[in-house]
Amino acid sequence: MEWWHFTFQPEPTPHTLYDVPVTSPEQPERQVQIDRLMQRYEGDVPGASLLVVHDGEAVVSRGYGRSDLELGTEAGPATSYRLASVSKQFTAAAILLLAQDGKLGIDDRARAWLPALPPAADAVTLRHLLTHTSGLVDYEDLMAEPYPGQILDAGVLELLSKQNRLYFPPGSAYRYSNSAYALLSLVVERASGMAYPEFLRRRIFEPLGMHDSLAHVAGGPEVPHRAWGYSEIDGHWQRTDQSSTSAVLGDGGIYSSIDDLARWDAALYDDRLLGDAWRAQAFSPQAEVTGEDYQARYGFGWRISGDTLWHSGETVGFRNVIVRWPRQRLTVVLLSNRNDPEPYRTALQIGALFGADRALACASCLP
């Protein structure tokens, strides 16, 4: 009982002084620096969700700004963003799971699984598709302008089937290829007997407890806690959530949250999905990245710069990045539902606050 609520007796210790703070303690300096780096996402603007995992603990997990401007919904750890090309690591993992199961081989000819590919692609293997060394023509350059509706992964195969040419002989060069990852999603379907979204759900998302992650299909399950994409046009934020290529799944159609990506990151350290040998292949340099403004090599769905594994993702209304420093047990994920700013440098600067190797933090290393 507080004495003053129930009695009229004098205070029992009237001459004792108590040291009671009149202001809250200052935030730790690191959090102040993070908030400063994330300031552009704050307020009534399209926002972002930030995850920092260090030694297996989510030391930062929070949202900034809005996931839906029209409704005023705040972004948070459960907000689901379209990952764009960050999706490629899941497509690659699906192929590796099937290889681990003995359902396919990494060096299988792509035409063995997708016979509609033209004869020019006869020497293209799944490894070439995984590492952007296939030489396949970019499907975006083959689409009619304006394109009616949205193209699907099967539509990518149809376009490529009519192009009996490659940019270069398979395996002889590197050229980033969304076409390749669209085809890989179709290979997953042929080898597993399941639709690509269903395979991801059964083999990756459900086992890891990633219950808010999915490859989004129109007319299928709704995206939970969905962030809508925006672009700044003439000084105003306008919703720009979909384009004619947004329905292609294998190269960029997955939605996920930082809550779920924390579970994904944890699974990349052990064999709950992929055994050591298969993870080693995914994280090992397979091809030298060329023609870009940064220095990296490419594994299976991952860019590799020194000891750092990372991948970016950009599509209409979304810009994302995941950066992992496995030796330091550190990961930074920054997902945003806006076309600007680019999040790569910000993620590296946040990683540096937790002792990350700054080898990437130079102008020549950033996209």
Task: Tell me the pTM.
Answer: 0.90
Task: Tell me whether residue 22 is in a domain.
Answer: no
Task: Tell me whether residue 15 is in a domain.
Answer: no
**Nearest CA-CA partner of 321 in 273, 263, 269, 367:** 367
The conformational region for residue 235 under phi > 0 = left, psi -120 to 50 = alpha, else beta, is left
Q: Check whether 300 has a pLDDT greater than 60.
A: yes
Task: Tell me whether residue 16 is in a domain.
Answer: no
pLDDT: which is higher, 359 or 325: 325
pLDDT in tens, 152-193: 999 999 999 999 999 999 999 999 999 999 999 999 999 999
Asked if residue 52 lies in contact with residue 354, where contact means CB atoms within 8 angstroms, the answer is yes
Per-residue confidence band for 13, with pLDDT thresholds at 50, 70 and 90:
low
- Total number of domains constituting the chain: 1
Give me 304's structure tokens.
């590799």
pLDDT at 220: 95
Task: Tell me whether residue 206 is in a domain.
Answer: yes
Q: 70: which residues sit within 8 A by CB, 6+ positions away?
A: 228, 239
Element housing 100 (H / E): helix 88-100
The amino acid occupying position 195 is A
**Nearest CA-CA partner of 197 in 143, 210, 45, 355:** 210
Task: Tell me whether residue 122 is in a domain.
Answer: yes
Q: Check whether 16 has a pLDDT greater than 70.
A: no
Mean pLDDT of 75-103: 98
Mean pLDDT of 211-230: 97
> In angstroms, what CA-CA distances link 367 with 232, 292, 326?
21, 7, 21
DSSP conformation class of 149: S
Q: What's the domain range around 193? A: 29-365
Task: Tell me whether residue 124 is in a domain.
Answer: yes
CATH code for the domain in which residue 274 is found: 3.40.710.10
* Rounded-to-integer distance, Cα 253 and Cα 81, Å: 10
Mean pLDDT of the chain: 92
Q: Is 318 helix (H, G, I), strand (E, B) or coil?
A: strand
pLDDT at 336: 98
Q: 184: which residues sit within 8 A by CB, 6+ positions away?
A: 91, 92, 94, 95, 126, 129, 130, 250
The burial class, CB within 10 Å (0-12 / 13-18 / 19+), for 144 is exposed
Task: Tell me whether residue 4 is in a domain.
Answer: no
> In angstroms, what CA-CA distances link 148 with 152, 162, 229, 253?
12, 19, 21, 19
Task: Tell me whether residue 2 is in a domain.
Answer: no
Give me the phi and psi of 264, to 5 degrees please. Answer: -60, -45
pLDDT in tens, 330-367: 999 999 999 999 999 999 999 999 999 754 544 334 43
Asked if residue 301 lies in contact with residue 310, where contact means CB atoms within 8 angstroms, the answer is no
The amino acid occupying position 242 is Q
Q: Check whether 2 has a pLDDT greater than 80.
A: no
Per-residue confidence band for 48, with pLDDT thresholds at 50, 70 and 90:
very high
